[in-house]
Amino acid sequence: MVTTLLRSYAIETPELEVVLQEIATPEQPEALRSGRIDIGICHPSPLSIVEERGIDRSRLAVDTMNCALVANSTPLATRSSLSIHELRDIPFLFADRSFQPELYDMLFGQFERLGFHPRIDETYAGLRTVWQLVASGQGWGMGFASQSDDPPPGTTSVPVDELWIPWGLDLLLREDESRPLILDVADRLHRIGSATEQ
C-alpha cells in the first residue's frame, strides 16, 4: 500500500524529490520530534501517550488485517480461505511484545477472543524479516487485505475466516508543523490515499 501511494505521488508531483527512510512505526514519532524526518507514514499501531507526544496522527488509507501470509510452496497457499485454528501447529512469526506492546496486546487479545493460541518458537524484528522467513517456509505471518493481490515475494495471502482487524496507513506530522511545503505534501498524500480506497 505504501508503494502504491508513493508511486501515485511521484506521478502527481514529479518535480519534488522524496527521500525515503525505512523506520519502524514505534520509532517514527521520535524521528519527527528530532527533525530526522518531516513526515511519517506508518501502520496505525497503537502507541503509548509518551510515544505520541507532540505528534499529529491522521488516517491516510484504510486496510484490514484479515489474512495469513504463507509460503507459496505450502499446501495452504492453494486455499481460497482457512480457519485460524488450522494455523495452531504452524509457527507464528511476529515481533516480540517489547517492540510494540500495544499492537501485540491488541492482536493477541483478538486471538484470545477467538480461542486461538498461536505457536511461537521465536520472535523477530521487522516485517521484512518476517516476510523472508514466511517465504522460506518457516511459518506464517499476519497479512493485510491490500496484500491479497500483491503479497511479499515468495508468499501467498490467504483470507482467514474469523479474522477482521481494522488497519491501514497513518500519516504523522509534528503538531506544530507550519511549513507550507510539508503541509502541501501531507494534503496531497491524503488525496491519493482516499483515491486508492475508491
Residues 28 and 113 in one domain: no
> Tens of pLDDT along 66-90?
999 999 999 999 999 999 999 999 9
d(CA 71, CA 114): 24
Residues 92 and 6 in one domain: no
Residues 95 and 177 in one domain: no
Q: Which of 45, 82, 75, 94 is nearest to 162 (CA)?
A: 82
Average pLDDT over residues 116-134: 91
pLDDT confidence of residue 183: 92
Residues 22 and 82 in one domain: no
Instruction: Identify the three-state secondary structure at position 137.
Output: coil
What integer best gives the mean pLDDT of the chain? 88
pLDDT confidence of residue 184: 87
pLDDT confidence of residue 99: 79
Q: Is the pLDDT reported for residue 198 higher than 60?
A: no
Q: Which residue has the cell 483515491?
A: 195
Number of domains in the chain: 2
pLDDT confidence of residue 195: 73
DSSP bridge partners of 64: 166
Q: Is the pLDDT reported for residue 14 higher than 90?
A: no
Residues 173 and 156 in one domain: no
Residues 97 and 74 in one domain: yes
Average pLDDT over residues 141-153: 89
Residues 76 and 42 in one domain: no
- How many percent of the chain have pLDDT more than 70? 93
Residue 48's domain spans which residues? 2-62+167-197
> Any residues with CB less than 8 A from the CB of 112 and at least 6 apart, and which?
none
pTM of the model: 0.73
d(CA 101, CA 142): 16
DSSP bridge partners of 84: none
What 8-state DSSP symbol labels residue 82? B
Residues 98 and 151 in one domain: yes
Residues 89 and 138 in one domain: yes
d(CA 23, CA 38): 13
d(CA 135, CA 137): 5
Instruction: Check which CATH number belongs to the domain holding 15 and give it.
Output: 3.40.190.10
pLDDT confidence of residue 11: 74
Q: b/e map of 103-124 (b: 16 or more CB within 10 Å)?
A: bbeebbebeeeeebebeeeeeb
Average pLDDT over residues 100-113: 88
pLDDT confidence of residue 4: 63
> Any residues with CB less than 8 A from the CB of 47 and at least 6 apart, and which?
25, 26, 29, 100, 102
Residues 161 and 171 in one domain: no
